[in-house]
Structure formats: structure tokens, C-alpha cells
Amino acid sequence: MNRKQFARGLRTGIPISLGYLAVSFTMGITAKNAGLSAFQATLTSLLVNASAGQYAAFTMMAANSGFLELAIMEAVTNARYILMSCALSQKLPSTAKLWQRMTIGFNVNDEIFGMAIAEPDKLNPYYYFGMMAIAMPGWALGTFLGTSVGNILPGSAVSALSVGLYGMFLAVIIPASKKSKIILGVVIVSMAASFAMEVIPLFAAIASGTRTILLTVVIASAAAILFPVKEEAKEEAEHGA
């Protein structure tokens, strides 16, 4: 069973890995402009694996920012992963071992989280491991290639590669939105609220990572209160069947 789940995770992770390969290519260029070598940038992608966090770090390195400033920025930028980890902890079965939870916690990111949380039943850790096993190398390889040969490509080609990130997000939310009107409504509200906070001067000054956290907490809490998922009733129905 675990082998099958791992293999299923590998299949699910292939398009994620290809998208990461394209998107992290531009990340590699940013790392090179910040003075990092190909080895340093690739190692960062293997250990961090967070696009916004890495981009913020490389940008601050290029600006010769201090370690304290860099640490604070990373904490703010990556704080949303705390929320994702909490959601995943509830998705895992009670039998999940500590090492499995810690391994999953090492690589929580938007696309893999989206596929994991979309599982109709409890999340099998090996399904997540399969996605990690192919997605992480894709992100690291793209960073390596971007750092090594990225500056050779014309700017228009590099810009086109970055569009792949938006395609991955659409691939995560569209199937779930088709199945549930509630999820579709939450997606629409989230997009509208995100746009509003971007253009309203009062909120535009807030860092993008902080805005993401605020929107996630407020909208997710409202959806949970208004449209609660009756897990106990669902489990009873499944056991009764």
C-alpha cells in the first residue's frame, strides 16, 4: 500500500516538478545577481524550497542587508507555512509517526500542500513523500540551471518561464472549485480581497507575506464557521458503509 501511495505521489508530482523547474530558473538568476555560486544557490533551494522566502533573501543579500533584517524578513515571508502545517497535521491519520510528520514539515509549500489537502480521505504520508521526491529535485535543478546559464537567455524568455507558477496555482484550485460551490466562493472572495488589499493605500503598505497571512486567517476562519465540515458524521457514514 505504501509503495502504491509513493508511486501515486510521484505521478502527481511530475507536473509540479516541471513547473518548479521553469519557475526556479528565474530564482537562479536572482541568486547569481546576489553573488551566490551555483552550488550555494542549489543548496539553498534544497534546504529552503520556498519561492517567496528565497527571492526575499536573495534580494536582501544583493542589498547587503544584515543578518537580523534577513531573519525577520524570512520569518514574516514564510509564516504562512505555519498555517499550512497546522492544516496538514489535522489531515494526517493518528497512526502517522513522528518522523513522518517531521519529514512532511520539512517541505511544506503551496502546490504540494494544495494536492495533499485535496485528498478526500486522510493523507497517506507516503503519497506526500512521493510528491516531495520529484518536486524538490525539480526546484533545485531549475535553480542550478538559472544560476549557471540563466543570464544567457533573453529577458523575454525568462519572463515567460515565470508564468508557469500561476499555471500551477490554477491547476490546484480549479478542480476543487468545480466539485464544491463553497470552495469556488472562497476562491472568488480570496481573489477579490487580495486585489482590494493590493490597491487600497491603507493595506498596500503592508508586506505581501503579512497580507497573505491575514487574508488566510480571516477568510479560512469565516469559511470554517459558516460552512463547517462534519468530519465525525463523514467518518460514521464511511464506517457504516
Q: What is the pLDDT of residues 22-60, one digit of tens each?
A: 888 888 888 888 889 999 999 999 988 888 788 888 888
Higher pLDDT, 176 or 233: 176
Q: In the structure, what pLDDT confidence band is assigned to residue 126 with cuts at 50, 70 and 90?
A: very high
- For the chain, the first-to-last Cα distance in angstroms comes to 21
* Spatial CB neighbours of 158, under 8 Å, sequence gap ≥ 6: 25, 26, 29, 150
pLDDT the model gives residue 166: 64
Residue 108 has a pLDDT of 92
| DSSP type of residue 195 | H
What is the per-residue pLDDT across 103-112, written as a single tens digit (0 to 9) for each?
999 999 888 9
Helix (H, G, I), strand (E, B) or coil at 150: helix
pLDDT at 233: 45
Angle of the 80-91 helix axis to the 110-117 helix axis, nearest 10? 30
Higher pLDDT, 55 or 6: 6
Write the CB contacts of 128 (distance below 8 Å, at least 6 apart in sequence). Answer: 9, 104, 112, 116
Q: How confident is the model at residue 232 (pLDDT cuts 50, 70, 90)?
A: very low
**Tally of helices (H runs) and strands (E runs) in the chain:** 14, 0
Residue in the structure block whose three cell numbers are 541568486 = 31
What is the predicted pLDDT for the residue at 202?
A: 79
CA distance 105 to 108: 6
